[in-house]
Amino acid sequence: MLKKKKVLLLVLLLIIAAFALTAAMTVYRQNSHFRQAEGYAAAQNWKLAIREYDTAIHFHVPFSPTAGKAAQKLWQIGLMFEARGKPDWALIAYSSIRSGFYGTRSFYTPGKDWIEKCDGKIAALDTAMLIKEGGIKPRQAARQRQKYLALFRDNRAPSVFWSVLAETGFLGWSGAALATAFLGFTREGKPKGKPAFYGVICFLVFAAIWVVSLLKA
């Protein structure tokens, strides 16, 4: 029994180490893309700079300031292109901020303030371009902007409740599988009565919770 507990503890430590390593690698890659973006921006290679800032946002890590710095840089690029009379390039910069944060959401959406700012900018620029192309009359601008904003702000985020439940189901399913494998059988491979029975029940219940939650989220 003591040996099995040591094995379970070792497995738990390995899982924690794997999560820590993943977080460290994500932070490293995020900062690496940000540094590349800074180099491209210094060389005024705006296409690649936007791409790398966007990628840095996609490598989101909670409490890391780099995503916010990348968003600020993209915002400045968007303002620069607006001032130069290039709304198409400004749209690319603002859209990169928006899509970057949306691309990393799970049970919560990071960068909500940035997304809201970009919604307003994109709606205004799209409306102005539509007027310029003759798609609508100037007097229809306010209504068109509201249409864009309503479309952008349509909440399509995953359900927090079902997302948390999905995480719980996955962790419970994994834990039940490990517990059953190490505690539910004798050294000869025979089931150990209640430990094996309850382990299998927990495995099935948490697996069902995980699958249903993924479908509902």
pLDDT at 67: 94
**Res 180 pLDDT > 90:** no
Query: Where do the H-state alpha helices sit in the chain?
Result: 2-42, 46-58, 66-83, 87-102, 112-132, 141-152, 160-183, 194-216
**Res 36 pLDDT > 60:** yes
DSSP label at residue 193: S
Please, are residues 30 and 23 in contact by the beta-carbon 8 Å criterion?
no
**Res 209 pLDDT > 80:** yes
pLDDT at 161: 79
Residues of the chain with pLDDT > 90, as a percent, come to: 47
**Res 4 pLDDT > 80:** no
Please, are residues 215 and 165 in contact by the beta-carbon 8 Å criterion?
no
pLDDT at 2: 54
Which residue would you say has higher pLDDT here, 38 or 2?
38
Question: Average pLDDT, stretch 1-30?
Answer: 79
State pLDDT tens for residues 44-99.
999 999 999 999 999 988 888 999 999 999 999 999 999 999 999 999 999 999 99
Q: Please measure the distance between the N-terminal and C-terminal CA atoms of the chain and give it in whole angstroms.
A: 39
State pLDDT tens for residues 136-173.
999 999 999 999 999 888 766 667 777 788 888 888 88
Please, are residues 109 and 97 in contact by the beta-carbon 8 Å criterion?
no
